[in-house]
Chains A and B, each alone.
Chain A
């Protein structure tokens, strides 16, 4: 390891001490690392804090991939006690890097075993959501075009230039959608993408651009009437409408195999300081209170079966009955090479 000259170390140390001195101090502090999309109701956090005499500090650390890499780099001196937000596409990397301590939460009793991907309980499922194609209902009505019912349909001429997707190298829904095609077509998925490319599929870097700049039914009013987003997005469109809506301007295509189910996990970071509190926080995330708070904050589904869904979800969001069949072990083994291969095709 490298060493700085002592001359630089002293002032640096002094400065760092200054920084620490200025950081707020509570009774005990539990630090939770999350991705930037994490959200929670204030009262719910306060309930946990008062119950456990603890201050919870959330560290938003970029998108899921960025967060995970930061956590891996800081493995020996973790930035937080708990990390939430690694999904099943990244899970393998987190487990390989061995950043989590195992914890078999009693709260898992309410969670279906299909969500528990890590049998040694290092990463526990918290929520799930389906990545599907969303479409502009008005466009298809007005133009008398049938909504595509399969992946193959998307390559047909009537859907030329109508779809925008995210780059799997830079976006998690983008990756999820690519994995769904991989699950459906097997090794032939690259040929399929070639046909999509020939049919004018638009690739952008991230969900924000795809949804707000390219998708026609969003407020950004872009050119494409189909976008890779979440099955819960139509519900969000209603919930966050500027004017009260009775019906969403968007809907999801939930045909068998066309959606990828993303599961997000929480884990206790190795070498953390507050093991007890961290366990309590994991229990809390699986509790009914947190699980019922989650949908309207992050537009995801609770894994806890006893949690009630809000009305806007039951009315406007769809769940894929048959999500893409692909194991996380398969993803773990091939994820990077698939992305590279995809990139070659789409260049």
Chain B
């Protein structure tokens, strides 16, 4: 039996059963080799049913599971409280600086946790800009602001805020997309038929948005559920999610059996969320019209107040912490103790200049250009790899049969697998090979692939089969058909997917899997290396590197925004 798709025949279908299977081969092979195989290896070694009989293990499992659900639920609610109005803002109104603000809300998603924490600290911290502003106001103008103005949120509140900071862009993307695809005539019809604003929302808009609201909620919940860096960084010892508990049990207080039990539980939940997600997201694409309603400037006073107040809030929440990084990277804070009385602030480019100097002749010195090039190089390979693997799967998913509906949720699974256990699994599965630099883009591709497929799939599904048939009856070869019909429609979705993969790679998602080699440092590695030793210069250079990373990410996201394919349902 030939596995090549037959090109002859009068009614050549694009997706015959054979070619359908063929389409899945690269993606499945990749997932089996680099996800299921290592996962299987580590679980086979460590998963043990007797773990269930240990009461202490069960207690830890129960506690972390309870906390994981608790914080994920609250985080998701908070994310929606900010994300829903923001989605409405971006999909309905035009205002100055909108594109930039929209891009900025997506940047945190790509930034290393340490950098985000530093950004928040430089803004809200004890000596952050807000503190300085309030003390300046109170001393200079006797403004009735005491230094108590600076809030001291508990670590738990900080976790919730950080999750909101990271995931609001998901709500903005998914729900905003759905809102802007809402036919404005539906609202007009409802109003003319006698529905006031409350009933317009209750009886028309919300029911239509329901699948996308659910999809966004599931995805945000899933990210909050598997949160690691944020919890570890902000929560200290008091709070442990499943993922944090896995890390502690696998590496610090060795109880690999417990770690395996926890990661299996986490995987099961991820799979459940993925199944629910892939069900709802399919409704999203069928429920709403594939057309975008135009945005407009705010007209009425209420609308103006809404746009102004919300964009101010978003600027405070997203723009200020992010802009504080570049500002911090150009600010000198310290002076020689002999000469100073107060902290001196001044402008300096020292940190950037210092990036180019290998003061100690260290083997582990990271030349910034080299780090940027490595990051870009790995990101480039990740893009190629994830597109090459994502395209066939997205083609198959565009016209889902039972096979696709079954396989779909599994594609999301890498997002919910414990990075720690995966890292150990990689060692068991590949041994010395994992030191190969090729494993870096492979790990990034594992994370980027679900995003890429989700971006490509709706675009592919939107290509009318009629167009293809028309082209092929006009004598176009399959390649020609692809070139003239598919490609123009897909080019923007492809770019969007590529940029997503690119930024995921730049942000080093899943980097904890890896063993790194000093020859191939990336920007996030450079940042963490600077932050591993004390000293103003180290901190300044870390901020400078973080600024570089942030600029690269922001530019990529602006590119996504510019080229966003109308139908791309972006996760």
Q: Which of B286-294, B407-415, B471-479, B533-541 is found at the contact surface with chain A?
A: B533-541
Neighbour of A245 across the interface among B152, B250, B336, CB < 8 A: B336
Closest to A13 in B: B33
Residues of B within 8 A of A206 (CB): 232-233
Stretch at the interface among B166-174, B304-312, B392-400, B515-523: B515-523
A242 → chain B, closest Cβ, in Å? Answer: 4
Most chain A CB within 10 A, of B40, B41, B428, B534, is at B534
B270 CB, min distance to chain A CBs, angstroms: 22
Known: A39-B363, A79-B515, A203-B238. A16 touches B41 (CB 8 A): no
Contact assessment for A237 and B117 in the assembled complex, using a CB-CB cutoff below 8 Å: no
Tell me, yes or no, whether A315 is within 8 Å of chain B by CB.
no
A289 — which chain B residues lie within 8 A by C-beta? none
Partner of A209, one of B122, B233, B336, B529: B233
Asked whether B528 is an interface residue with its Cβ less than 8 Å from the other chain, the reply is yes
Q: Does A37 contact B (CB under 8 A)?
A: yes
- Interchain CB contact under 8 A, B338 and A246: yes
Summarize B's interface: helix, strand, loop or mixed. Answer: helix
Question: With A74-B427, A299-B533 known to touch, is A222 a contact of B237 (CB < 8 Å)?
Answer: no
Query: Chain B nearest CB: distance from A64 CB in Å?
Result: 10
A51 within 8 A of B: no
**Within 8 Å CB of A62, what residues of B?**
251, 423, 512, 515
Q: Would you call A110 an interface residue if the criterion is a C-beta within 8 Å of the partner chain's C-beta atoms?
A: no
Residue of A at shortest CB range from B28?
Answer: A8
A44 to B363 CA separation, bound complex (whole angstroms): 9
Chain B, 235-257, contact with A by CB distance < 8 Å: what is the 0/1 string? 11110000000011011111000
Q: Is the CB of A2 within 8 A of B534?
A: no
Q: A347–B251 Cα gap in the complex (Å)?
A: 20
Q: Which among A143-151, A180-188, A211-219, A323-331 touches the partner chain?
A: A211-219
Residues of the A chain whose Cβ atoms lie less than 8 Å from the Cβ of B433: 16, 19-20
* Complex interface: chain B residues within 8 A of A233 (CB): 534
| Cβ-defined contact, A2 with B41, below 8 A | yes
Knowing A60-B515, A93-B254, A346-B238, say if A170 contacts B534 (CB, 8 Å): no
Contacts of B45 in A (CB 8 A): 73
A8 to B32, CA, bound (A): 8
Structural contact, B125 and A213, CB atoms closer than 8 A: yes
Q: Does A305 contact B (CB under 8 A)?
A: no
Q: Which of B312-364 contact A (CB under 8 A)?
A: 332-338, 348, 350-351, 360-364
**Contact status B232-A205, CB under 8 Å:** yes
Q: Which of B397-437 contact A (CB under 8 A)?
A: 423-424, 427-428, 430-436
**Cross-interface CB contact of A216 among B44, B127, B434, cutoff 8 Å:** B127
A66 on the B face (CB < 8 A): yes
Contact of B37 with A12 in the complex, beta carbons under 8 Å: yes
Chain A residues with a Cβ closer than 8 Å to the other chain, count: 87
Contact residues in B for A163 (Cβ distance below 8 Å): none
Cβ contact within 8 Å between A241 and B535: yes
Answer whether residue B532 sits at the interface, using C-beta atoms and an 8 A cutoff: yes
What is the CA–CA distance of A268 and B540 in the complex, to the nearest angstrom? 38
A43→B538 CA distance, assembly (Å): 22
Assembled-state Cα–Cα distance A16/B430 (Å): 8
Closest to A72 in B: B254
Cross-chain contact A59 with B435 (CB below 8 angstroms): yes
Once bound together, how far apart are the Cα atoms of A244 and B121, in whole Å?
A: 25
Question: Are the CB atoms of A42 and B515 closer together than 8 Å?
Answer: no
At the interface, yes or no: B118 with Cβ under 8 Å from chain A? yes
B114 contacts chain A at the CB level, 8 A cutoff: yes
Pick from A2, A20, A169: contact of B253, CB under 8 Å: A169
Contact A204 B236 (CB under 8 A): yes
Q: How far is the CA of A1 from the CA of B43 in the complex (A)?
A: 11
Which residues from B are CB-within-8-Å of A244?
A: 336
B438 at the A/B interface (Cβ < 8 Å)? yes
Cβ A340 vs Cβ B534 within 8 A: no
Of all chain B residues, the one with the shortest Cβ separation from A242 is: B536
| With A8-B37, A41-B360: A220-B535 Cβ-Cβ less than 8 Å | no
Which B residues lie within 8 Å of A242 (CB)? 332-334, 348, 350-351, 536-537, 540
Contacts of A95 in B (CB 8 A): none
Per a CB cutoff under 8 Å, which of B233, B361, B517 touches A57?
Answer: B517
With A20-B433, A38-B364, A213-B117: A70-B233 Cβ-Cβ less than 8 Å? no
Interface residues of B in 59-110 (CB under 8 A from A): none
* Residue among A11, A19, A37, A347 making CB contact with B532, cutoff 8 Å: A37
**Contact of A192 with B by CB under 8 A:** no
User: Are A240's CB and B233's CB within 8 A?
Assistant: no
B364 and A40 within 8 A (CB)? yes
Please provide the chain A residues from 224 to 242 with a CB less than 8 Å away from any CB of chain B in the complex. 229, 233, 236-242
How far is it, in angstroms, between the C-alpha of A59 and the C-alpha of B351 when the chains are bound?
28
Contact at A237–B536, with CB atoms within 8 Å? yes
On chain B, the residues within 8 Å of A23 by CB distance are: 435-436
Find chain A residues with CB under 8 A from B534 CB: 211, 218, 229, 233, 236-237, 240, 250, 299
Restricting to A56-112, which residues have a CB under 8 Å from any CB of B?
57-63, 65-66, 69-70, 73-74, 77, 79, 93
* CA distance in complex: A241, B308 (Å): 43
Q: Are A79 and B427 in contact (CB under 8 A)?
A: yes
Q: A40 touching B362 by the CB < 8 A rule?
A: yes
| Contact status B125-A221, CB under 8 Å | yes
Does B126 touch A at the CB level, under 8 Å? yes
Does the CB pair A36–B332 fall under 8 Å?
no
**Separation in Å of the A40 CB from the closest CB of chain B?**
5
* Minimal beta-carbon separation of B449 from chain A (angstroms): 16
Residues of A within 8 A of B237 (CB): 167, 169-170, 203, 205, 343, 346-347
CB distance from A127 to the nearest CB of B (A): 15
Return chain A residues, CB-CB under 8 Å to B436: 19-20, 22-23
A243 and B252 in contact, given A23-B436, A70-B424 (Cβ under 8 angstroms): no
CB distance from A93 to the nearest CB of B (A): 7
Is the beta-carbon distance between B432 and A66 smaller than 8 angstroms? Answer: no
Given contacts A212-B539, A242-B351, A336-B253, contact A79 B363 (CB under 8 A): no
Q: Which residue of A lies closest to B430 (CB)?
A: A16
A202 within 8 Å of B (CB atoms): yes
The interface residues of chain A lying within 8 Å CB-to-CB of B470 are none
**Further contacts, 6 of them, CB under 8 A, given A20-B436, A212-B539, A220-B539:** A38-B364, A59-B515, A79-B431, A79-B515, A218-B536, A237-B535
Ranked nearest first, the 10 interchain pairs of A and B with the lowest CB-CB distance are A240-B535, A219-B539, A223-B126, A221-B127, A203-B236, A242-B536, A240-B537, A167-B237, A236-B534, A42-B363
Question: What are 29 A-to-B residue pairs whose CB atoms are below 8 Å?
Answer: A2-B44, A8-B32, A20-B433, A20-B436, A22-B436, A23-B435, A42-B362, A43-B361, A44-B363, A65-B252, A69-B251, A69-B424, A74-B428, A74-B431, A79-B431, A79-B435, A170-B252, A203-B238, A205-B233, A206-B233, A208-B532, A212-B539, A218-B539, A222-B126, A237-B534, A241-B535, A246-B336, A297-B360, A297-B362
